[in-house]
Chains A and B, each alone.
Chain A
Amino acid sequence: MKNDPKKLLRYTPFERASHWLTGITFILLALSGLGFFHPFFYPLCQLFGGGTWTRILHPFIGVVMAVSFGVEFFNYRQLNVMTPSDWEWLKHIREMVAGDDRNMPEAGKFNAGQKLLFWLLAICMALLILSGIVMWRAYFSFLFPVALIRFASVVHAVAATIIIALIIFHIYASIWTKESIRAMLYGQVRRAWAKQHHPAWFREMTRGEK
């Protein structure tokens, strides 16, 4: 597959690979974690070879996700710094949700919604990693007092619920905004798409042309 010179590079191969590694591990973690979340979801453990295998695998998959999310975090953290224009964007969020983006302040590579999502995901991930270590009975729980393990169990469940909700939102936003899944799959976007959804980034990328 040759790169189309007229298209704009939005995500490098490395960024795509780390995004999908995070994505795949997230799905596996959500499914296996839900298995222990409520009895209603316990049958999901069968996808991983039963309850015991799910208990064994979940934290190890978590380690992989912690690393790949960590890579993404350090890669994207500067691009996600909120600017005054972003806060203005959030004030117009209702119009955006209603499908009218004419009055939205111009978004850069990431719009304010994506940036906010980024920081919320980072907070949830930090909480999940820390509480997950405390809950990891096979290797770490014996290091901690039971009161802390109880607290970590609550934190893990709450952060997991929030991150699943955020990812539902993230996946839906990518379905709703046409061609954005292609962008993360193949890396490139059409100029029209860039101008529509990320005008400031579009200008930055095409500066000096035409």
Chain B
Amino acid sequence: METSSRIWGVLSRVSDPELPVLSIVDLGIVRYVRCDGESPPRVGITPTYSGCPATEVIRAAVQTALVGAGYADAVVEEVLSPPWTSEWLTQEGRRKLEAFGIAPPLGPDRAASHPIACPRCGSQSTRLVSHFGSTPCKAHYRCEACDEPFDYFKCL
């Protein structure tokens, strides 16, 4: 297997500290892995929200994972542009989020017009409690059918 796919494999086992069901690859924050065989491999990661405290933890976890896999010389770079968007969340990531009890993002063109379905009972009769939930990336909702509060992963 070539170095680049091996490194992608290593990164897909690094989980998000706030959403441990998701890997950083599921979240779409790994922007590239570059290996030219001569200089050290370079890994580009982008922050989700600029104030997200998980960013530094993730960076450290990536370094540790790369060292553990024998890529001690790999360089981790921060990428700011283009800015992260919830559209980069993979299909696999969306499925894992929903199974974990967090409603996945609808996408910018559907968010305004479509109801957010309750991840527990599936009802579309839900109500926004606050645009800001327990972490920067989530909004707080309540299901009118089963009465349970739940998090919605916001579109950004």
Do these two chains really belong together in a complex?
Answer: no
Give A residues with C-beta under 8 Å from B: none
Give B residues with C-beta under 8 Å from A: none
